Amino acid sequence: MAKRPSLSNVMDKGAERANAPQPAPALLDELAPKGQRKPGKRRLGWVQLNMYVLEELRTKAKVKALQSERDLSEIVTELLEKWVDS
């Protein structure tokens, strides 16, 4: 059976990933050679986070994200960073 990593080790690696420079979304198209798909977020160090929110809130957030031409993931990440840093 494989040994489970310690919590502090996992937290350290998470901090390293959080501090790693991420390419701007506009630059993602430039990372893929012509005729190939651009790299997905998972390849760029992002992880999936599942959560429950009210349906009406999700709908409003998606509409606002589309209007501002932003990804909902970017908005949630920005809000979580502000909350964690406070």
Entry pTM:
0.51
Q: Are 28 and 38 in contact (CB under 8 A)?
A: yes
Q: Are 28 and 39 in contact (CB under 8 A)?
A: yes
Closest CA to 70 of 82, 78, 59: 78
Question: Which residue intervals of the chain are DSSP H helices?
Answer: 7-19, 28-31, 55-67, 72-85
Question: Is residue 65 pLDDT above 60, yes or no?
Answer: yes
What would the pLDDT profile of 12-57 be if each residue is shown by its tens digit? 655 565 566 655 555 555 555 667 766 677 677 788 889 999 999 9
Closest CA to 76 of 54, 49, 55: 49
